[in-house]
Copies of this chain bind each other. A is one copy, B any other.
Amino acid sequence: MAVELKDLTKADDNYSQWYNELVVKAGLAENSAVRGCMVIKPYGYAIWEKMQSVLDKMFKDTGHQNAYFPLFIPKSFFSREASHVEGFAKECAVVTHYRLKNDPEGKGVVVDPDARLEEELIVRPTSETIIWNTYKNWIQSYRDLPILCNQWANVVRWEMRTRLFLRTAEFLWQEGHTAHATREEAVAEAEKMVHVYEAFARDWMALPVIVGRKSPNERFAGAEDTYTIEALMQDGKALQSGTSHFLGQNFAKAFDVKYVDRDGKLEYVWASSWGVSTRLMGALIMSHSDNNGLVLPPKLAPVQVVMVPIYKGDDQLKVMTARLDAIAAELKAKGISVKVDDRDNVRSGFKFAEYELKGVPVRLALGPRDMENGTIELARRDTLTKEVVSQEGLAERIEALLDEIQHNIYEKARSFRDSMITRVDTWDEFVKTLDEKGGFISAHWDGTVETEVAIKEATKATIRCIPLDAEDEEGTCIFTGKPSHRRVLFARSY
């Protein structure tokens, strides 16, 4: 597949356009013929697969099992939990019929009006309802608890304005759904999983996130408490990157799920749910990339090292490719993924630009002088620097370099993020900071939904979270002047 190497829009000129072009030109994803649904292309899917495999292991290491629940949910299920229906039974894909037939007028196929479903089916926007309807049959006694299930699935929310990875009608995700005997256990589970997400973002995506609680107005529909990881994009907007919910007994009550406890008493079951989605791809792209294209953390890069021979004529190409293959074998032996690009129909400058666009962390170029000297040119994608190094000890050098790049990308994102958290104590400062600097604003809030909504209407900024490590501090709400006991984080967000 030919890569479009025309210049990317500069991120500074138009961040939103830069992002869209980058996703498409780097071969990550593209829009499809179906409104709001994307095609995830092989290179983008390879990154998602790496994320999946790491997360899946983290879930299993914390005692979870995978299962699979139906794509369709009967419409009536949504009405069972009062706040859930408000949040999710709105913009969704509704299946009303189960058959097509040949058009009597000979124009292709039409919906068969005789094949109308008695009750419409909703393509799952999230699966709490169908899963708790199932758990009802799985749970009788405390011995059946906890249930710690996760599912990898596609979900559909009929979003009006969509953007590749960040907000699409169909997206891929995992959703954990757990059932517990006690409130404490369910709360602990919700907290544990938000920390799993935090660790994944930090250690694999090189993404520093702030862990906190959502304010009541931003909670998941049906949750008693929502934990979130919030990341900061390079344009100063926040991106909610994963959430974990303590659901109380809301779904157990809606679907009548009770268990007999150790004392023989019948009690409602406690619940958590938690999820991350292909939105993480958007977070990954927007956190690290630059005007030359993607910058990928080595731990998630499908190709970690690319090698390009700089040659004249077939004979030279042959000798050089042999040398590069030998180096590649050494790298592979260390578990490093490598590609040798010996294409003869594009110039090496084209190849360089292509791998920069695709965010390959390390590039090696071997020229005729290198062949004589036993050297090779080594270029880093994160810093865009290059140096000529000895071929001797190259595998060890690259192994260490990949760690260094992973670390550097994280530190860069963290220092940017830290520089973009501004403590603000007045409304004027708040508005000015939002408009001129962006980022997170740490400010006092009076704790009411009314104020939260009023601030959002005035500025488009929302409370991203109440950080778990927020210290008690007396102050006054920037909007109402009423008393407040701790700062919360505001930002404009995706």
Contact = CB atoms under 8 A, between A and B. Distances in A.
A341 interface: no
Contacts of A42: 65-67, 149
A101 B65 CA distance: 35
Contacts of A85: 108-109
Contact of A70 (B67, B69, B95, B170): B170
Interface string A46-70: 1011000000000000000111111
Contacts of A67: 39-42, 45
Interface stretch (A12-20, A86-94, A449-457): A86-94
A389 interface: no
B100 A78 contact: yes
A94 B91 contact: no
A99 B90 contact: yes
Nearest to A41: B67
A431 to B, nearest CB: 35
A2 B140 contact: yes
A45 B68 contact: yes
Interface residues of A, number: 70
A95 B94 contact: yes
Contacts of A34: 70, 72-74, 121, 130
Contact of A66 (B49, B72, B108, B133): B49
A309 B2 CA distance: 62
Interface string A108-131: 110100000000111100000010
B122 A37 contact: no
A491 to B, nearest CB: 30
Contacts of A68: 39-40, 45, 48, 172
A260 B197 CA distance: 47
Interface in A169-204: 170, 172
A96 B99 contact: no
A156 B100 contact: no
A350 interface: no
Contacts of A385: none
Contact of A100 (B89, B137, B172): B89
Nearest to A38: B70
Contacts of A345: 143
A32 interface: yes
B120 A111 contact: yes
Nearest to A170: B71
Chain copies in complex:
2
A138 B130 CA distance: 38
B2 A143 contact: yes
B72 A2 contact: no
A383 interface: no
Contact of A71 (B37, B73, B120): B37
A37 B117 CA distance: 15
A40 B99 CA distance: 25
Nearest to A66: B45
B93 A121 contact: yes
A291 interface: no
A296 B95 CA distance: 38
Interface in A141-155: 141, 143-144, 147, 149, 153-154
List the 8 closest pairs (A to B, CB-CB), nearest first.
Answer: A79-B108, A37-B70, A42-B65, A40-B68, A94-B97, A98-B158, A96-B96, A93-B95
Given A94-B96, A95-B95, 17 more contacts: A30-B137, A33-B134, A34-B72, A34-B130, A38-B70, A39-B67, A39-B70, A41-B67, A45-B66, A48-B68, A71-B154, A75-B109, A91-B99, A93-B98, A95-B123, A96-B96, A98-B158
30 contacts: A1-B147, A2-B141, A30-B134, A30-B137, A33-B77, A33-B130, A34-B130, A37-B70, A37-B71, A39-B68, A42-B149, A45-B65, A46-B65, A46-B66, A68-B172, A76-B108, A78-B100, A78-B109, A90-B100, A90-B101, A92-B98, A92-B99, A93-B98, A94-B96, A94-B99, A95-B96, A96-B96, A99-B158, A100-B122, A154-B154
Interface of A: 1-2, 30, 32-34, 37-42, 45-46, 48-49, 65-79, 85, 89-101, 108-109, 111, 120-123, 130, 133-134, 137-138, 140-141, 143-144, 147, 149, 153-154, 156, 158, 170, 172, 345
